[in-house]
Amino acid sequence: MRIRWKGVPTVLFGDELLDKGFTRGRAASDRVNESNRTFRVRKQMSRMVQTSSDTIAEYLLEVVSTWPSLDRMPDFDQSMIEAAVGTDMYRKNLASLQWAASQIRVVASQNVKKITRTANVEFMHTCRREAYGRISSIVGQVGKGLAWLNESREILKVLPTIHSDEPCVVITGSPNVGKSALIRALSSGEPEVNSYPFTTKQLHVGHFTSHRLKVQLVDTPGLLDRPMIKRNAIEMQAIAALEHLGSLVLFLLDSSESGGASVEEQLNLLEEVKELLPGTELLVCISKADLLDPLPEGWGDVDVPRTKDGHPAFSAIDGQGVEGLRELMMEKVMEVQRGTPLTLPEGWYVRDPDGAV
């Protein structure tokens, strides 16, 4: 399931919602045509209460229905929501709108009954004012939730769209090791690059096609060598990508230490990534290899230069080793994609010659 956050409409604030409901209530009242004063006021007050409550309750339920259900979305999307805005708050605020819609309809029902059962015109007006007051109070109780959803929509709509039916290579490592530069060299993606410790502000997705297979490249925010509990939301987005996405994880190691992280810190992070991904293919590559002295074996002569430890090496600056790395990645991805030759992907079926499934 693909989540299109940009397609989720903006959420009205509490005062905007009340104004919308009460305006429609007044319009419904104006359409009453009755010569008898008592009957006319009864119809007017009833319609104002019923129309206003219906407008507000239906809007709240519409918001709930247009926001994707956490229970029906992939683990990656759940993890991204947890990192970006928090799944507990997501559930809580949507549930509060359902509660509010139910309560508003109860209030409307109670006060419409009072209005229809009396012949006292002043009491009819009192019942309408009482209904509006209680409805306003209920909307006020969920006002912070409406504001939270509106703000969260702005955050969530910049999250990347990942296609589960296409192979995905997750590129990770410490800050400033060259992830964004490699993405630019490999694909049509143009990740944003800024000069502060987390050079990639959020996940960016690039693509390239090789051997008629479209491959997604996910550029994760740089991870720091520190405990999970101390990581910020940007780092948790990277963890979400690592845990739930990759057909292959490319770990970039900057042996030159020009990015600011020592080799020891980077190796500690590598061990943590291995623990997070016990069943995922992981390829360790040496970035910024043009800064090494001596240069890796085969530098300038072979497609995939390698260090003395056997790790493939590349430089996104001069392009050395990039195409060879692409082919090496494709070999790894194709191995993962093959899987068991006689097993169809989940959801596929076989039709026999008679047409039966």
Instruction: Indicate the SS3 state at residue 244.
Output: helix
**Tokens describing residue 273:** 């990534």
Place of tokens 């297979």: 213
- Residue 66 tokens read as 């247009």
Res 202: pLDDT: 64
Does residue 266 contact residue 225 with C-beta atoms inside 8 Å?
yes
Q: Cβ distance 184 to 191 under 8 Å? A: yes
Please identify every stretch of the chain with a pLDDT value under 70, giving residue numbers as ranges. Answer: 1-2, 189-203, 222, 224-228, 234, 238, 338-357
Contact status, residue 198 vs residue 175, Cβ threshold 8 Å: yes
- How far apart (Å, rounded) are the C-alpha atoms in residues 88 and 119? 49
Structural domains of the chain sorted by starting position, each given as residue range(s) with its CATH number in brackets: 5-156 (1.20.120.1190), 168-338 (3.40.50.300)
Model confidence pLDDT, tens digit, residues 80-111: 888 788 899 999 999 999 999 999 999 999 99
Q: What is the pTM of this model?
A: 0.73
Tell me the three state secondary structure of residue 169. Answer: strand
Residue 346 has what pLDDT?
45
Confidence at residue 189, expressed as pLDDT on a 0 to 100 scale: 60
What's the pLDDT score for residue 79? Answer: 80
| pLDDT score of 338 | 62
